[in-house]
Amino acid sequence: MSMIERLRIACISPLNPLQSGISDYTETLLPFLHEFFDLTLYSDCGVPTNPLIAEQFPVYPVSDLFKHYSQYDLRLYQIGNSPHHRNAFTVLRTLPGVVVLHEPFLHHGLYYSSPLHYRRELFYELGIPDWARLKYMEQALMNDDRQALMDIPMIGRIVDSSLGILVHSQTARRIVETRRAKSAFCRPRLPQIMVVAQPMSVPDSDEMPECRARFGLPQDALIFGMAGFIHPVKEPYLVLQAFAHLQADFPQAMFLFAGEILQETGDLLTFARDLGLGDKVIILGRVEPLERLHQAISACDVILNLRRATIGETSAIALRAMALGKPIIVRNIGWFGELPDETCVKIGPEDGVEELAAVMRALAISPEMRLRLGQEARRYVERECDPRRVARQYAEFLWDVYLSIGQSRV
């Protein structure tokens, strides 16, 4: 049997209008995956907002997979740390398949899908009904203490029952492998694990002056930016403190938040005013549609995408900025640490305001450095994250899983 034949795949994923990075991810990949497979989509999105998806693929509610499962050669689950996967978690328990694990950490997704199921999964991981541990975990969840939660990433059942697992970074792979080593089962065959790059189309670059005019931003300003959901884990306060250090030398510098400020982040504008940056910080809020977000990123000179702690996730926003040829500043942790040094500027995992201000200053001084980093970043995304290339990697992996199981002896 060869790849010329087509496998019938049930693809279980959120799709727009469900607002999730995985919806965008799947919609980017589907047209390319369709070249290799006959795809049927299972999503609780209702009618997909993307007309191309709605026209090209049959879409059913996730729970319908219980009725249809025998029609497919394989099931492909797109799973992340969000309650959008509520029904997928349920189906996955009895109908396992190949899982694309966008983060090897499912605490929030499971808990906000159902506290009862969260308890079930925690006890599954622990192997005993440890109520004191449950209480501790729930407290850590409420405080969003990711470091405390990372000890038990809540992927045990997926690792135990999946036929194959795809992840997007070596960091995520290590987390999955660590969990797999702890598996309670002595099985003849462990799930295969493969790292695939996150697909990212490289859009045509928007001209910076045009983009700035569109958002009413001054043409001569040096603009640092942060995009996507503005969550405390992205360290917006540290970033503003570092930005304040530049004011003496770069009075024309500005800071742009192009994304929704989450409630738990607090009042950034008041903080900026307290630092004397009231007129230097602009908050756009949620920027839609995607083209407008691209324009907002294109209006910036440098994009900051820090993480205080990582749960093994990749950042679509960082890749978008790189695809748009923007230099980015990240911390040297997790997937961010795996980015080639020539494509971004990295600060240490524990670095503070001074260190961050120093790299921001270095980038502010040198337009050549910004240009070089941006070009390398764009080349990296073109090379590694091409959706066609990623779809081919998917195809090879899914065929490998299918054939290795299909041809094995019972």
Per 3-state DSSP, the chain is made up of helix, strand and coil in percentages (nearest 5) of: 50, 15, 35
Return the number of the residue (52 or 184) whose C-beta is nearest other proteins: 184
Minimum CB distance to other proteins, residue 62 (Å): 16
Return the number of the residue (289 or 409) whose C-beta is nearest other proteins: 409
Minimum CB distance to other proteins, residue 108 (Å): 21
CA distance linking residue 10 with residue 71, whole number of Å: 9
304: β partners: 329
Minimum CB distance to other proteins, residue 43 (Å): 21
Residue 261 near residue 290, CB atoms below 8 Å: no
Return the number of the residue (129 or 367) whose C-beta is nearest other proteins: 129
CA atoms within 13 A on the CB side of 240: 25
Return the number of the residue (162 or 343) whose C-beta is nearest other proteins: 162
Residue 9 near residue 75, CB atoms below 8 Å: yes
Return the number of the residue (71 or 366) whose C-beta is nearest other proteins: 71
Return the number of the residue (96 or 327) whose C-beta is nearest other proteins: 96
Minimum CB distance to other proteins, residue 125 (Å): 10
CA distance linking residue 104 with residue 172, whole number of Å: 6
Tokens for 376? 């390398």
Minimum CB distance to other proteins, residue 291 (Å): 41
Residue 328 near residue 344, CB atoms below 8 Å: yes
Residue 96 near residue 12, CB atoms below 8 Å: no
Minimum CB distance to other proteins, residue 73 (Å): 5
Smallest CA-to-CA distance from 171 within 142, 200, 193, 148 is with 193
Query: Where would I find the beta strands (DSSP E) of 80-221?
Result: 98-101, 164-167, 192-195
224: β partners: 255, 302
Residues 6 or more apart whose CB falls under 8 angstroms from that of 343 comprise: 322, 373, 376, 377, 379, 380
Tokens for 312? 């093994």
Return the number of the residue (128 or 142) whose C-beta is nearest other proteins: 128
DSSP notation for 197-214: PPP---PPPPPHHHHHHH
Minimum CB distance to other proteins, residue 11 (Å): 16
Burial label, 264 (beta-carbon count in 10 A; 0-12, 13-18, 19+): exposed
Minimum CB distance to other proteins, residue 123 (Å): 5
Phi, psi dihedrals of residue 31, rounded to the nearest 5°: -60, -30
Return the number of the residue (184 or 262) whose C-beta is nearest other proteins: 184
Minimum CB distance to other proteins, residue 94 (Å): 5
Q: Contact positions toward other proteins, by CB under 8 A? A: 1, 5, 70, 73-75, 93-97, 120, 123-124, 127-129, 131-132, 134-135, 157, 160-163, 184-185, 187, 189, 402-403, 405-408, 410
Return the number of the residue (219 or 407) whose C-beta is nearest other proteins: 407
